[in-house]
Amino acid sequence: MPRKIVKTKYFFEEDYRETIAEVSTDKYKDWGNNDTLNVVGKAVSRIDGYDKVSGTAIYTFDVDLPGMTHARILGSAYPNAKIKKINTKKAKQLDGVLEILTFENAAKIPWFNNSTMLFDSHVRYEGDEVAAIVAESDSIAEEALKLIEVEYEQLSFVTSSQDALKVNSVKIHDNGNIVGGKPAEYDRGNIEEGFKEADYVLEDKFETQIAVHNSTEVHCSVVNWDGNKLKVWDSTQGVFAVRNVVSRSLGLPESDVTVITKYMGGGFGSKLETGKYTIIAALLARDIGKPVKITVNRKQMNLITGNRPDSIQTLKAGIKKDGTLTAMSLTSYSAVGAYPSWGGCSGPIKGIYKCSNLKTTEYSVMINAGRARAFRAPGHVQGTFALESFIDELAEKAGIDPLEFRLKNYSEVDPGSGSPYTTKLLREAYKKGSEAIGWYEKRKPTGTDTGYLKRGIGMATQIWGGSGGPPAYVTLKLNSDGSVTILGGSQDIGTGTYTILAQVVSEVLEIPIDRMQVILGNTSSVPFGPESGGSTTAPSLSPAARDAAEQMKSKIISGAAAVLGLPEDELVYKEASVYVKNDKSKSVSIPALMHSMHEQMFITNGARSANPEHYAINSFGAHFAEVEVNTETGKIKVLKIVAAHDIGRVLNQKTVENQFHGGIIQGIGFALMEERILDANTGKVLNTDLHTYKIPTIKDVPEIEIYVVSKGDNLLSNTGVKGMGEPAIIPTAGAIANAVYNAIGKRIKSLPMTPDKVLNALYG
């Protein structure tokens, strides 16, 4: 099993990560198309499906330890204030209250996620942590929170990026309101010369809203000390990341902290970070000597656990009469909350179209509100809506069909670096998607549909990373009865990781999946693996699983050669047995082999290989939408979405379709209804529950068709898999917006596209 230490990089959420990791250098035969495989690519039901549908699955919220106590957090009542005094006397006197933490007794605990403290006497948004209580029951903890008396010095506050940039604005922190002190800038070519070359120059502005993750399982942790060792059950997308933050915050060796996530009820990026609540629970548990469960209720989730930042995007482009792009620019402003975060949305404009002259300027602006976090394809969902709406405007100006305009400016290499792609099948996605929606047959000239119910068709393009990369490891244990235990260095956040790892191992070893146990999400028992985000889990772990399985096959053949007294090249492995090539009557099964060798277990450790150098690694796709707009009520109804994508190899047809449906439905929510409403007069969020924060229901779900146009990216890894969790949502809102314009002849430039905006566009 050749190994070496290399430097490599891969795209994760907002940016590229450079890593130095031990990687596999083994080269394995390309699997070819999925139709030649036995298990990989098939619609295999989830191996954890029964647990989930029967209610026996244990999520973090379900963990119940003997003697467990319950903790709750008190958040600031104001968007900007200094705490003058906290009186906890009445709360402490309530029967069942065990301990209270405030900035007075926990202020010196460092917080590694955003370079501040666990508690601060200066609270900067509604919900900012003020105190925490642990009690014998959840109800007592809730009651005790109401008894804490806090005296605040209320301060002026700011709730929008535009106001926060004014000279006399409230300063969220002493160093100003722009993250990093200045905008993030990027340019290539000569933007001014590019505009001079253009026959037409267009400029327009688009806005997107703040959206909240609102995962089904609330953010929660259960912690328990055993002497100086800490065990944490956490609803997280990164068990190793949580372990590392907890150990640093509490001054513990990483080996003394175990983090467990067996099942998780959604995260969408909000659970990529370690919650302050986890550290708070650990401190309380250490103080009282009992296990502590801490939960963040739905209202608090909407305030403190992150959001997709908003954006105000000004796009400018120059084109020639034939539709060739000569220059593009983007200036964006995003409100990222009270602590430093990233709000850029330039990924699509940098990467999709062939354009030599480009400039982007992005302001991430702090305001008195909850902090932005990664949210399923951060930046790309906002950026794609604006860019793809603008591309349609450019096409119309040039008198070219929107799809033909995109093909006119198609880039065969990465526009920024000039590097070739490992694979790019966007043309094929355009072709498949347009055929399925009936683009050329059904699409009418803009705004020409008759009657008060007007139909339209639109499209949008998607680019994302999703290459995955090292370090990522998988350990296999082959038992003496031929069953297998797979230890994966990651966690399953609902996407089917348990199942796809079993499929990869089953494909190589030809052992049935029902003979396999998959263990994930336990830092003390699995090898290291990455966080589950950025569409990197499957492309990181599946090659490591194949590496471990191929090593295991070699080990079995080697053992059989010794037992049978024959050279390895005279043997062949098939259906979990080793046969003599020219005499299939001579064979040895795995149990017989291990019995002959007096072995109880074979163990192999697989590693992800390095990403190829000098290549761009991206996923691509396009969504085509058909909508119906009621011009009397302003209501938009999505009738159909066709999604066509280049995502490398499909490991499981069923879970791929699950992910696409989920992403598209979430994209519909972003396009039409989701929005955090922040009252500029009070600094308070007005819709902090699922009654007032609108998300799609089953009645809002249209007909959805999924097409994967790719077979596998052989340059990328031994499984050829690219991630697709984020590509599924990226182009949905843009496609819907363009379809609405095609239907009514009026462009909605602000999300969500609610009925009032439609009516104002039509009649305002």
Half-sphere exposure of 12 (CA within 13 A, CB side): 19
Question: What is the arithmetic mean of pLDDT over 531-552?
Answer: 97
Question: Which tens digits make up the pLDDT trace of 389-406?
Answer: 999 999 999 999 999 999
Phi, psi of 331, deg, nearest 5: -125, 125
Residues constituting the chain = 764
- Write down the pLDDT at residue 290: 98
Question: Which tens digits make up the pLDDT trace of 552-606?
Answer: 999 999 999 999 999 999 999 999 999 999 887 889 999 999 999 999 999 999 9
- Write down the pLDDT at residue 700: 97
**How would residue 15 be classed by pLDDT, with cut points 50, 70 and 90?**
confident
- Write down the pLDDT at residue 116: 63
Contacts of 716 (CB under 8 A, 6+ apart): 422, 423, 467, 539, 611, 612, 617, 648, 722
Residues 366, 346: Cα–Cα separation, whole Å: 19
Residues 46, 248: Cα–Cα separation, whole Å: 36
Question: What is the arithmetic mean of pLDDT over 315-338?
Answer: 98
Tokens of 180: 């990093």
- Write down the pLDDT at residue 467: 95
- Write down the pLDDT at residue 26: 83
Phi, psi of 716, deg, nearest 5: -75, -50
Helices 732-744 and 755-763: angle between axes, nearest 10 degrees? 40
What is the SS3 string spanning 142-207? HHHHCCCEEEEEECCCCCCHHHHCCCCCCCCCCCCCEHHHCCEEEEECCHHHHHHHCCEEEEEEEE
> Sign of the C-alpha dihedral, residues 565, 568, 574, 575?
positive
Do 63 and 224 form a contact (C-beta atoms < 8 A)? Answer: no
- Write down the pLDDT at residue 535: 96
Tokens of 120: 């601060």
Bigger pLDDT: 412 or 4?
412
- Write down the pLDDT at residue 332: 98
- Domains belonging to the chain, first-starting first, are 3-59+468-607 (3.30.365.10), 63-155+216-266+271-304 (3.90.1170.50), 172-214+309-418 (3.30.365.10), 421-465+612-764 (3.30.365.10)
Task: Say whether 645 sits in a helix, a strand or coil.
Answer: strand
Contacts of 65 (CB under 8 A, 6+ apart): 222, 224, 291, 293
- Write down the pLDDT at residue 5: 81
Within its chain, how far is the Cα of 661 from the centroid?
A: 15
Do 283 and 293 form a contact (C-beta atoms < 8 A)? Answer: no
On the question of pLDDT at 112 being above 80, the answer is: no
Residues 348, 332: Cα–Cα separation, whole Å: 13
Judging by DSSP bridges, how do beta strands 292-295 and 69-75 pair with one another? parallel
Residues 359, 96: Cα–Cα separation, whole Å: 60
**How would residue 24 be classed by pLDDT, with cut points 50, 70 and 90?**
confident
Contacts of 709 (CB under 8 A, 6+ apart): 425, 428, 429, 432, 644, 645, 646
Question: What is the arithmetic mean of pLDDT over 52-66?
Answer: 96
Residues 595, 206: Cα–Cα separation, whole Å: 69
CA angle 36, 605, 534 (to 5 degrees): 70
Question: Which tens digits make up the pLDDT trace of 133-151?
Answer: 999 999 999 999 999 999 9
- Write down the pLDDT at residue 585: 81
Dihedral, 403, 408, 411, 412 alpha carbons, nearest 10: 100
Q: What's the mean pLDDT when you consider all of the chain?
A: 95
On the question of pLDDT at 111 being above 60, the answer is: no
Question: Which tens digits make up the pLDDT trace of 334-375?
Answer: 999 999 999 999 999 999 999 999 999 999 999 999 999 999
H/E segment holding residue 503: helix 497-509
Judging by DSSP bridges, how do beta strands 311-319 and 149-154 pair with one another? unpaired
On the question of pLDDT at 692 being above 60, the answer is: yes
Q: Residue-wise over 67-85: b if at least 16 C-beta within 10 A, else e?
A: ebbbbbbbbbebbbbebee
Tokens of 425: 């099948």
On the question of pLDDT at 227 being above 80, the answer is: yes
- Write down the pLDDT at residue 584: 79
Question: What is the arithmetic mean of pLDDT over 100-109?
Answer: 77
Residues 513, 496: Cα–Cα separation, whole Å: 14
pLDDT more than 90, % of the chain: 93
- For residue 192, the one-letter residue type is E
- Write down the pLDDT at residue 103: 83
Do 654 and 44 form a contact (C-beta atoms < 8 A)? Answer: yes
CA angle 713, 717, 722 (to 5 degrees): 55
- Write down the pLDDT at residue 21: 76
Number of CB atoms found within 10 A of residue 697's CB: 9
Residues 445, 182: Cα–Cα separation, whole Å: 44
Following DSSP, what letter does each residue of 86-130 receive, concatenated?
A: EE-HHHHHSTTEEEEEEHHHHTTSEETTTTEESS-SEE-STT-EE
Do 473 and 605 form a contact (C-beta atoms < 8 A)? Answer: yes
**How would residue 11 be classed by pLDDT, with cut points 50, 70 and 90?**
confident
For the beta sheet containing 292-295, the strands, ordered from the edge strand earlier in sequence to the opposite edge, are: 97-102, 129-135, 69-75, 292-295, 220-226, 229-234, 257-260
Question: What is the arithmetic mean of pLDDT over 194-222?
Answer: 98
